Amino acid sequence: MFRVDLDSLIVAYLVILLGGLALVWIAAEIFQRGRDKRRRKNFVICSICEHTFEDTSGKELVSCPGCGALNERDAIHEI
């Protein structure tokens, strides 16, 4: 058996605890970005009236519910 002093035990406990929390935080960020990317894929901004709407049909040309103009799907970039 080997000896472990209290200081080493506390440091090891804190490193393991903080490392686990960091991994959970990183995994949550990765999943959140994936969810946001999938959600933004369905949003369309009208080029005429700037109305933002969601269309889940998957068509390349979609009609704006506000003004009726046809719009192409573009990637929505966050500011």
CA gap 79, 71 in Å, rounded: 21
Tens-level pLDDT at each residue, the chain (79 residues): 788 899 999 999 999 999 999 999 999 999 999 888 877 778 888 888 988 888 888 788 889 888 988 888 776 666 5
Q: 10: exposed, middle or buried (C-beta count within 10 Å: 0-12, 13-18, 19+)?
A: exposed
| Residue 23 structure tokens | 């991994």
pTM of the model: 0.57
Q: Give the residue ranges of DSSP H helices in the chain.
A: 6-40
Rounded to whole angstroms, what are the CA distances from 63 to 33, 44, 50, 57, 75? Answer: 28, 10, 13, 11, 17
User: What fold, for 42-79?
Assistant: Ubiquitin Ligase Nedd4; Chain: W; (2.20.70)
What does the domain layout of the chain look like in residue ranges?
1-40, 42-79
